[in-house]
Amino acid sequence: MNQNRLLIVGNWKMNLNVQQASILVHRLHERIRIRRDIELVLAPSMLALQPLSLQIDRRKFRLCAQNAYFVDEGAYTGEVSFSMLQDLVHYVIVGHSDRRHKFNEPLEMIRDKVAAAIRNDISPILCVGETAEERKDGETKQVIHDQVTTALSNLASRDVSKVVIAYEPVWALSNGTDYSHHEIPTPDIIAEAIRAIRHNVSELYGPTAAKEMRILYGGSASASTARGLMESEGVDGLLVGGASLNYQEFSGIVDAAYRMQTAISGEI
């Protein structure tokens, strides 16, 4: 991992009603201590964002939306725009594989969402990653290249540092409950994909932008695998799905990050 602050994001997906979300935040508050070199982010459902924004200790957590629409306002029934989320969240997840594959979001729509996030002062967490079939066919680098270059193509260079990328191989994502038994990639596979992502960013915006880009790993991370995943070369943190719904697992992941940062800073 490089010198960046570690970023850990809990993506709750379509789980927990407002009351359940509030209980989970309450439990996380009890367990989790503040540490300046670790940034913790929660991505609840759209409905829970507003009440949680009043409940969370902002020194501990930031909020993230799981999706938003790229037009700021208008006749788009059922959608919520980035501009509506502006004062509520620091981050929005863009291009998650659920959106790409279950809702058929094309590359260009994801590009427009990244641009809309930046326009509205929100950092997009851009998810990229190959399916099992694409990996089997040797297309991993091409898929990552297409996803990264299209998504970032409409940005001014000064805005690139606001983007976070999450490498999420689709074959490693849990179904939300079997995260601790699911197949996870080796550190070499993660490092190679992240090198490819930095190379693509470098081609577009130069080596400094590529080096400074925060890149997360996501896919079946749990308390027991978190440290190994975070220690993979180039990883600046984790995007956690299933395990973020369980306060013991999620605080276990945060503990692993604490131990790692403590070891790096030479405190033990």
Active site residues per annotation: 96, 168
Residues 112-171 that bind ligand PGA (CB under 6 A): 168
Residue of 163, 221, 229, 256 interacting with ligand PGA (CB under 6 A):
221
Question: For the chain, where are the alpha helices, taking DSSP H only?
Answer: 18-31, 46-55, 82-85, 97, 107-119, 132-136, 140-152, 187-205, 207-212, 226-230, 247-264
Considering only the stretches 70-78, 82-90, 116-124, 217-225, report the one whose residues sit in contact with ligand PGA under the rule CB under 6 A. Answer: 217-225
Residues 9-38 that bind ligand PGA (CB under 6 A): 11
Q: For residue 34, what is the DSSP state?
A: P
| Per-residue CA distances from 217 to 1, 68, 143, 249, 261 (Å) | 11, 22, 16, 17, 17
Residue of 176, 187, 228, 252 interacting with ligand PGA (CB under 6 A):
176
| Residue 239 CB, nearest approach to ligand PGA (Å) | 5
Categorise residue 129: left if φ over 0, alpha if ψ from -120 to 50, beta otherwise.
Answer: left
| Residue 182 CB, nearest approach to ligand PGA (Å) | 7
| Residue 117 CB, nearest approach to ligand PGA (Å) | 17
Residues 6 or more apart whose Cβ sits within 8 Å of residue 109: 70
Categorise residue 237: left if φ over 0, alpha if ψ from -120 to 50, beta otherwise.
Answer: left
- Amino acid identity of residue 171, one-letter, is W
| Residue 103 CB, nearest approach to ligand PGA (Å) | 14
Residue of 241, 257, 260, 261 interacting with ligand PGA (CB under 6 A):
241
Residue of 114, 242, 254, 257 interacting with ligand PGA (CB under 6 A):
242
| Residue 171 CB, nearest approach to ligand PGA (Å) | 10
Residue of 174, 200, 232, 251 interacting with ligand PGA (CB under 6 A):
174
- Amino acid identity of residue 181, one-letter, is H
Say if residues 111 and 151 touch (Cβ distance below 8 Å): yes
First to last CA, the chain: 19
Residue of 69, 91, 171, 179 interacting with ligand PGA (CB under 6 A):
179
| Residue 167 CB, nearest approach to ligand PGA (Å) | 11
Residue of 124, 219, 234, 237 interacting with ligand PGA (CB under 6 A):
219
Q: Does 239 bind ligand PGA (CB under 6 A)?
A: yes
Chain position whose Cβ is nearest to ligand PGA: 241
On the 0-12 / 13-18 / 19+ scale of CB atoms within 10 A, 200 is buried
Q: Does 95 bind ligand PGA (CB under 6 A)?
A: no
Say if residues 254 and 40 touch (Cβ distance below 8 Å): yes
Closer to ligand PGA by Cβ: residue 234 or 241: 241
Residues that bind ligand PGA (CB under 6 A): 11, 168, 173-174, 176, 179, 218-221, 239-243
